[in-house]
Amino acid sequence: MAEINELLPILHHIRVKLYPNYLPTRGEYQALIRIACVLPNNEYIGKMNSELKLTEADALAGSICSEQSRKEGLQLISASDKGDIKTVETLLKKDVYIHTQDGEGRCALVAAAYKNSLEIADLLINAGADVNMKDNTLQSAYLISTSDGFTELLKKTLKAGADVHCTDSYNGTGLIRAADRGHVEVIRELLKTDIRVNHVNRLGWTALLEAIILGDGGKRHTEVVRLLVDSGADVNLPDKDGVTPLAHAKGRGFTDIVKILENAGAKR
């Protein structure tokens, strides 16, 4: 039987054709190996033993999954984290599996997102990276862009199919995350989508409440409140303790926000 290193390019080629968007399981790789053995009139037959036994196929599949694919996938994550564009490009040309996750659950795109590495994010997204894939802390490239104020990255993830209804570990949407940090431009972009303006997170807060409770009442958070109210935020929806946005704003002395809320029909 051919050596593993000789078979890898062959199997990788078949794998990309049959499983373009995810890494096959050990059983699927086993099937790929056996397919390569029996396909008639193809370039693989000369490299592989057509009498390959099932146990040998399984052993080879295990070796590929545990060694080569994961090694290259981790290299891609590391390069994405370091902003090493050249290495990322080299690995992608080898059709490396782009959804490998490290010990922290990060895939390459999530690693790039944390650093706001737009060029690398472009390369990965164009190669089919899932913008909704999350790490162990439930952060995706899309969610990272909303909380960190990475507007350009947000636009790229939205274009690539970001799920605006996905939530973080607090059951908070991207809109809630952006509101409490006062990311005005991120809020503008999100409000162009069908994101739920009145979604309530695990703390019992909407985006409007977070902008008031966690905001500083300055220009950015005031503008966030205005944008949310103009987009249909419920100005009378209280937190889990029954305290309304208006009551919170008055309690914190946010006079400009109080005016916005009262003009929008806030009662108490």
User: What's the pLDDT band for 42 if we cut at 50, 70, 90?
Assistant: very low
* Most confident option among 43-57, 74-88, 126-140: 74-88
What is the per-residue pLDDT across 103-118, written as a single tens digit (0 to 9) for each?
A: 898 999 999 999 999 9
Task: Evaluate whether 190 touches 165 at the Cβ level (below 8 Å).
Answer: no
What is the per-residue pLDDT across 144-185, written as a single tens digit (0 to 9) for each?
A: 999 999 999 999 999 999 999 999 999 999 999 999 999 999
Q: Is the pLDDT of residue 135 over 60?
A: yes
| pLDDT at residue 33, as a whole number | 58
User: What's the pLDDT band for 229 if we cut at 50, 70, 90?
Assistant: very high
> What average pLDDT score do residues 192-209 get?
98
The Cα 199–Cα 12 span in angstroms is 44
The Cα 109–Cα 123 span in angstroms is 9
Look at 261 and 43; give whichever has higher pLDDT.
261
**β strands within the chain, DSSP E:** none
The Cα 37–Cα 52 span in angstroms is 7
- Domain extent listing, the chain: 1-75, 101-162, 164-268
**Could you give the percent of the chain with pLDDT greater than 90?**
66
Q: Is the pLDDT of residue 3 over 90?
A: no
Q: Which two tokens stand for residue 256?
A: 């400009």
Task: Evaluate whether 132 touches 162 at the Cβ level (below 8 Å).
Answer: yes
SS3 call for 165? coil
| pLDDT at residue 101, as a whole number | 85
Arch. (CATH architecture) of 101-162: Alpha Horseshoe (1.25)
Look at 99 and 156; give whichever has higher pLDDT.
156
| pLDDT at residue 98, as a whole number | 85
What is the per-residue pLDDT across 18-37, written as a single tens digit (0 to 9) for each?
A: 555 545 555 555 555 555 55
Q: Which two tokens stand for residue 246?
A: 């208006």
| pLDDT at residue 143, as a whole number | 98
Average pLDDT score, the chain = 84
**Could you give the percent of the chain with pLDDT greater than 70?**
75
> What average pLDDT score do residues 249-261 get?
97
Fold agreement between 101-162 and 164-268: yes
Q: Which two tokens stand for residue 36?
A: 């390569």
Q: Is the pLDDT of residue 69 over 70?
A: yes
The Cα 120–Cα 113 span in angstroms is 9
Task: Evaluate whether 80 touches 124 at the Cβ level (below 8 Å).
Answer: yes
Which of 8-22, 71-85, 121-135, 198-212 has the lowest average pLDDT? 8-22
Structural fold of domain 164-268: 1.25.40
> What average pLDDT score do residues 80-92 get?
96
